[in-house]
Amino acid sequence: MRDTIRFKHDSIRTEQANPDWIRRFILFHAKRHPAEMGAPEVEAFLTHLATGGCYAR
């Protein structure tokens, strides 16, 4: 993942933040592998964040 971020010339902060968000996504879905999930799981996670389930730092 870090190699892809660097290839796209994204910021170092993006490189640092993405692994944390990925970890939160996986933990929110009871440690399921991201390859097993799709749009409904992403929507559920984003809804959880938007409704106060977690606050951005």
Collapsing DSSP to helix, strand or coil, 23 comes out as helix
Task: Estimate to the nearest angstrom the gap between the alpha carbon of 27 and the chain centroid.
Answer: 10
| Total-model pTM | 0.74
Q: Which residue has the higher pLDDT, 51 or 53?
A: 51
**Nearest Cα to 49, choosing from 31, 27, 34, 32?**
27
Confidence of residue 46 (pLDDT cuts 50, 70, 90): very high
The shares of helix, strand and coil residues in the chain, as percent rounded to the nearest 5, are: 65, 0, 35
Residue 54 has pLDDT above 80, yes or no: no
Mean pLDDT of the chain: 87
Percentage, residues of the chain above pLDDT 70:
91
Report the SS3 class of residue 14: helix
